[in-house]
Amino acid sequence: MGTGVSLYYRVAGTGVDTAIVLHGGPGLHSRYLESAPDELASRRVLIYYDQRGRGRSDAVDTAVQTAALDVQDLDSLRRFFRLSRMTLIGHHWGAVLAALYAKRYPAQVSRLLLVGPSYPHPSYLFWAATLHQGDKAVDRYLAALRAGQDSADPRGFCSQFWGFYFSPTPVVAPRLVREFSDDMCDVAPSALRASWVLNRLVARSLHGLNLRDTLGALTSPTLVMAGTADTARVEAARAWARWTPGAREVVLSGAEPFPWLGARRRFLRVAGTFLDGQWPDGAVTVTDAKPDARSVAHRPVNSP
């Protein structure tokens, strides 16, 4: 890549349009996503990659890692594949990266599909703090950190606690932890050790960012997909749609932060329709700025 760092990537599908899939974290990698939208590759090319220093990409100096470098890498990837325009599919942190990129390079982005996006503003952290987080899982996580298990046994630590990448509302449901543990932890121990550091450093590099201003500057058609879960997550996703000009939202019955779980057929139908250039049935405009879920008004739309 033009940034001097080799990035792992995988290409699936054929077609005229190309979408680049951005994983969550920031310290995770793309493996856990590779089976989620793959069926969308029947009519388009999907490019998955591990962001610098994560997963199977080159190790980097974690002391200088920033979100700005992730944006730079994404543009290097675009140029590597000789794409004039591309769709971005961002999950969790990947939605933030997609927004940062689309603001800086609006002419290169045809549309944005943001799936289970992370919290867009610190105000939602208060809501999250009032929710039940699975106290026993948190206690086990903190005890494992104190014992140094993240360094001594990174794979074992990851298999139990990868859900804490999704702080401040970590994934602690046993079924979800088991379902994703193999994919989340299927990288070298050195990458797992670095990933916990990268998770903190990339997030810290965003200190002072007003994401609302970033979203307000976006011009590409944008669809936000969220799963039903706690109020904080639902309202956070709703804010993404409300703050992005012209954006629409679809709420699925799948589990947050993985809306495709439990609602796979609808996820694929909704995502495929949007990627084909149409607003899917059920896509709505969020028109009310109040944070009370009961006061949010929705208006159906029929075309982009």
Query: Residue 302 has what pLDDT?
Result: 37
Query: Residue 295 has what pLDDT?
Result: 34
Is the separation of the CB atoms in 157 and 184 below 8 Å? no
Query: Residue 46 has what pLDDT?
Result: 95
Burial of 303 (0-12, 13-18, 19+ CB in 10 A): exposed
Going by C-beta distance under 8 Å and a sequence separation of 6 or more, which residues neighbour residue 141?
A: 160, 161, 164, 170
Strands across the sheet containing 222-228 = 9-12, 45-49, 18-22, 86-91, 109-115, 222-228, 248-255, 284-286, 298-300
pLDDT in tens, 73-96: 999 999 999 999 999 999 999 999
| CA–CA distances in Å: residue 62 to residues 5, 143, 144, 156, 198 | 13, 25, 22, 22, 6
pLDDT in tens, 231-279: 667 788 889 999 999 999 998 887 778 888 888 899 999 999 999 999 9
Query: Residue 71 has what pLDDT?
Result: 96
Residue-range domain boundaries for the chain: 9-126+206-300, 129-188
Domain 9-126+206-300 in this protein, CATH class: alpha beta
Is the full-model pTM beyond 0.75? yes
Cα 168 vs. chain centroid, distance in angstroms?
Answer: 15
Query: Residue 42 has what pLDDT?
Result: 85
- Strand, helix or coil at 195? helix
Query: Residue 128 has what pLDDT?
Result: 57
CA distance 169 to 134: 10
> What are the tokens at 24?
């969550």
Query: Residue 261 has what pLDDT?
Result: 86
**9: nearest Cα among 99, 86, 85, 77:** 77
CA distance 236 to 24: 16
Average confidence (pLDDT) per 10 residues, the chain, 304 residues? 81 92 93 84 93 91 86 96 96 95 97 91 59 74 93 94 82 89 93 88 86 95 85 81 95 82 89 95 79 38 40
Query: Residue 34 has what pLDDT?
Result: 83
